[in-house]
């Protein structure tokens, strides 16, 4: 009996304690503290390790690794490749971002069915492998500065197309990328919105993807990030590695020039 009373009292104490919060921080300070606490132990590390193993593993009909894949700095060079993508590739005669370039390599080097991979839903099958690969590849450029090439006419054109697309308002809510990402110091709910049109916002935003997304519990590539932006913009569905998504990558990447890559980062 006595014991019951004690246990009941404990419950009461808990109720009494709860409203007495310690000195209130501002919301922004609170969020900053939350993020700082998580900084150590980013699950993106798990994907980086898996991606490195995948890069070196012989796979596909050709039973080959990706170690001969040219990400723009020569066959097999991973370090520094991420901060120069998207860029023009001579062999495909196209401007490609990291994901579309990986598709090319998985096709040419490994003989995988990349049309099927591009159609696979995010987080499943080979798409899951791509997300690990981009975590590894971007991680190899961590701390390096963005410096996208803009010498080729196609690269210049894609930059201009990306800029147009960034400002294109459409859909039932009249949203464009610029609706949320063209002014400094704006928030959606509690999330800071980087101004992607110039530094430092551009590299803060563009330079943290791929990232481990806490709300999704998964590593998201830039392709997946852009796909969800378009979903929230209420646009129709952008194809995987489609021209619009690559052009946006060029626009944001060029705007990030000189900014430091922190990918794969940890995001809400």
Partner 1 sequence: MTPTAQDIDLATSQAMKSSFRDQGNAKLDRLTLDASNQACSESEGAALEDKLGKAIEEANLKTVKFPADGKLIGNWAEGERVAQSGRGLTWTDSATAANGGSCYNCHQISKTELSYGSIGPSLYNYGKLRGVTDPTAVASKPIVDYTWGKLWNSKAYNACSGMPRFGHANILTEQQIKDVMALLLDPKSPVNQ
Partner 2 sequence: MERRDFLHRSGATAVAIAAATGLPAAHAQGAPGWNKAAFESKNLAEAAKAMGATSAPIESKDLVLQAPEIAENGNVVRIGAQSNIANTTQIAFVVEKNPSALAAMFDVPAGTDTNVSTNIKMGQSSNVYALAKAGDKYYYAVKEVKVTLGGCGG
Partner 3 sequence: MSDPMRIRAQAQGDKTTVRVLVGHEMESGQRRDAAGKTVPAWFIQSISATWNGKPVMSAQWGPAVSKNPFMQFSFKGAKAGDKVIVTWIDNRGEKRTDEAVIT
Query: Per CB under 8 A, does 68 bind partner 1?
Result: no
Interacting residue with partner 1 among 244, 257, 260, 266 (CB under 8 A): 244
Least gap, CB of 156 to partner 3 (angstroms): 41
Mask for 129-168, x = binds partner 1 (CB under 8 A)? ------------------------x--xx--xx-xxx-xx
Nearer to partner 2, 75 or 190 (CB): 190
Interacting residue with partner 3 among 61, 143, 172, 217 (CB under 8 A): 217
Q: What is the dihedral of CA 101, 80, 63, 90, to 10 degrees?
A: 40
Whether the CB-CB separation of 141 and 79 falls below 8 Å is answered with yes
Query: How far apart are alpha carbons 170 and 159 in whole angstroms?
Result: 20
- Residue 267 phi/psi, 5-degree rounding, is -125, 165
Options 59-67, 85-93, 110-118, 181-189: segment touching partner 1 (CB under 8 A): 181-189
Least gap, CB of 34 to partner 2 (angstroms): 4
The dihedral region occupied by 63, where left means phi > 0, alpha psi between -120 and 50, and beta the remainder, is left
Residue 79 makes CB contacts below 8 A (sequence gap 6+) with 73, 140, 141
Verify cis geometry, omega within 30 degrees of 0, for the bond prior to 264: yes
The residues that touch partner 1, with contacts defined as CB under 8 A, are: 27, 153, 156-157, 160-161, 163-165, 167-176, 178-180, 182-183, 185-190, 193, 231-232, 234-239, 242-245, 247
């Amino acid at each position: 009996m006595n014991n019951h009373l004690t246990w009941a009292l404990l419950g009461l104490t808990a109720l009494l304690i709860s409203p007495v919060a310690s000195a209130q921080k501002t919301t922004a300070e609170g969020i900053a503290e939350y993020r700082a606490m998580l900084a150590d132990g980013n699950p993106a590390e798990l994907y980086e390790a898996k991606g490195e193993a995948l890069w070196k593993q012989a796979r596909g009909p050709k039973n080959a690794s990706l170690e001969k894949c040219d990400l723009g700095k020569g066959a097999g060079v991973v370090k520094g490749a991420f901060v120069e993508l998207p860029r023009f590739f001579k062999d495909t005669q196209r401007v490609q971002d990291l994901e579309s370039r990986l598709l090319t390599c998985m096709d040419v080097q490994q003989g995988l069915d990349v049309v099927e991979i591009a159609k696979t839903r995010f987080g499943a099958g080979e798409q899951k492998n791509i997300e690990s690969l981009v975590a590894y590849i971007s991680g190899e450029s961590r701390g390096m500065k963005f410096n996208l090439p803009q010498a080729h006419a196609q690269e210049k054109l894609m930059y201009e197309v990306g800029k147009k697309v960034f400002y294109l308002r459409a859909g039932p809510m009249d949203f464009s990328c610029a609706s949320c990402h063209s002014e400094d110091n704006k928030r959606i709910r509690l999330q800071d919105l980087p101004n992607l049109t110039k530094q430092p916002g551009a590299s803060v935003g563009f330079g943290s993807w791929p990232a481990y997304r806490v709300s999704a519990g998964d590593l998201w590539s830039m392709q997946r990030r852009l796909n969800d932006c378009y979903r929230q913009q209420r646009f129709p569905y952008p194809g995987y590695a489609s021209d619009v998504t690559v052009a946006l990558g060029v626009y944001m990447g060029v705007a990030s020039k000189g900014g430091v890559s922190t990918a794969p980062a940890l995001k809400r």
